[in-house]
Every structure is written in C-alpha cells, then in structure tokens.
C-alpha cells in the first residue's frame, strides 16, 4: 500500500510539472503583453509548416545585420542583447549589440547570433519571434498578399512586438496598420 502512495505522490508531482511548464510559459508571455513596450519590426513573411503545430509564416526581418565596432569573439548561437531605438517612421532599429545585459531602464531585446560575417565586423541576428502561427487556410494567402504588396513601397509589412526586460511576444503581423489576418479574411470573403 505504501509504495502505491509513493507512486501516486510521484504522479501528482509529475502532473503538476506538466501543468506548471506550459502555465509558466503563458505567465511569462502575459506579463510582456500587459506591461511591455510595443515595437514595430519591418519584415517579409513566407509560409512553411510544422507537423505538430500547424501552419505559420516565417518572418524575415530587414533589420538583421549589424556592424560591430569592437571585434569581440562572437559565436554562432550565442545569446546577445540588442539595444533598440525607434526611427523617424516609427520602426524599431538596432542601436548596438552587447554580450552583457543592459540596464532595465533601457529598451533591449534578447536574441541570438545567427552567423558572423567575414572577420567578425558584422553579425546576423536571429530574432526570438520569427514564427507567426496562422489558421491553415490563411497562411499561404498571407504570403501571397504580402508578395502583392511588394512593388508598392508605401505598403510596409511589419511585426508588432511587445518587449519587456529583453523578453518579447509577437502580437501580430501588419501591413500598413491592418492585421494580416484581417486582410486575408477580407480577401477570402471578397473572392466568394
């Protein structure tokens, strides 16, 4: 009987961990969403898929390579901190990269080094929000919509991201201030 109790206790612990891990993920994101600062990153969406989690659009960010003044030893996959500023048009720009965590009062983002260019004078950044999950019928259309807007330079696609203490949550992908979900939905209705 005693061993049964131990097993049951162990099971309850495991069950709690199984709930705790996703709940913790949710909580971390919810905080960033509720009290983080909003940024817009210019992007180019394309659509692949994941066998378990379905369709998403991959975001390729325009602002993804940075010149480095001090040639430190940058390693691929390493975590770095990007100091962010907003340019005149309201889009996020990377001011500088550092290995050390900036002060909390500054706007910064935790990201990874994708690859180092040449002698280490430039690095390419992998943003922690490069996937935007969409309903399976909409993901491909979203990519088409984006491609159609390409020649029109006034139409700017961008990712709407909340950032707090380096942590980020991707909220939406927009073209000219309208959610790509809404645009695709409109187009699909117009076609009917």
Interface with another protein by CB under 8 A: which residues? 4, 7-8, 10-12, 14-15, 17-19, 21-22, 25-26, 29, 50-56, 76-77, 127-136, 138, 169-171, 181, 185
Between residues 12 and 150, which has the closer beta carbon with respect to another protein?
12
Between residues 101 and 131, which has the closer beta carbon with respect to another protein?
131
Comparing CA positions, the residue from 80, 170, 173 lying closest to residue 129 is 170
> Euclidean distance between the first and final Cα of the chain, in Å?
65
Between residues 60 and 89, which has the closer beta carbon with respect to another protein?
60
Between residues 26 and 150, which has the closer beta carbon with respect to another protein?
26
Between residues 11 and 148, which has the closer beta carbon with respect to another protein?
11
Residue 189 three-state SS? helix
State the nearest-atom distance from the C-beta of 89 to another protein, in Å. 24
Strand order in the sheet with 79-86: 65-67, 122-126, 108-117, 79-86, 92-98
Between residues 10 and 150, which has the closer beta carbon with respect to another protein?
10
State the nearest-atom distance from the C-beta of 82 to another protein, in Å. 15
Residue 33's Cβ-side half-sphere holds a number of Cα atoms within 13 Å equal to 10
State the nearest-atom distance from the C-beta of 132 to another protein, in Å. 5
Report yes or no: 122 and 67 within 8 Å, Cβ to Cβ.
yes
β-pair partners for 55:
49
State the nearest-atom distance from the C-beta of 105 to another protein, in Å. 25
State the nearest-atom distance from the C-beta of 181 to another protein, in Å. 6
State the nearest-atom distance from the C-beta of 62 to another protein, in Å. 18
Distance (Å) of CA 1 to CA 14, 43, 59: 20, 60, 55
Report yes or no: 127 and 41 within 8 Å, Cβ to Cβ.
yes
148: how many CB neighbours lie within 10 A of its CB?
12
């Amino acid at each position: 009987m005693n061993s049964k109790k131990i097993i049951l206790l162990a099971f309850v612990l495991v069950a709690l961990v199984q709930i705790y891990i996703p709940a913790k993920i949710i909580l971390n994101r919810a905080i960033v969403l509720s009290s983080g600062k909003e940024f817009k990153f210019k992007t180019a969406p394309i659509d692949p898929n994941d066998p378990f989690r379905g369709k998403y659009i991959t975001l390729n960010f325009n602002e993804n390579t940075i010149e480095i003044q001090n040639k430190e030893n940058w390693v691929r996959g390493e975590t770095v901190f990007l100091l962010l500023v907003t340019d005149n048009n309201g889009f996020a720009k990377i001011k500088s990269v550092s290995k050390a965590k900036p002060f909390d009062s500054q706007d910064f983002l935790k990201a990874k080094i994708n690859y180092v260019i040449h002698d280490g004078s430039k690095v390419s950044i992998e943003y922690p929000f490069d996937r935007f999950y969409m309903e399976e019928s909409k993901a491909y259309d979203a990519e088409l919509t984006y491609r159609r807007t390409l020649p029109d330079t006034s139409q700017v696609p961008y990712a709407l991201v909340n950032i707090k203490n380096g942590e980020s949550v991707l909220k939406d992908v927009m073209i000219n201030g309208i959610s790509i979900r809404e645009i695709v939905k409109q187009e699909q209705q117009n076609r009917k």
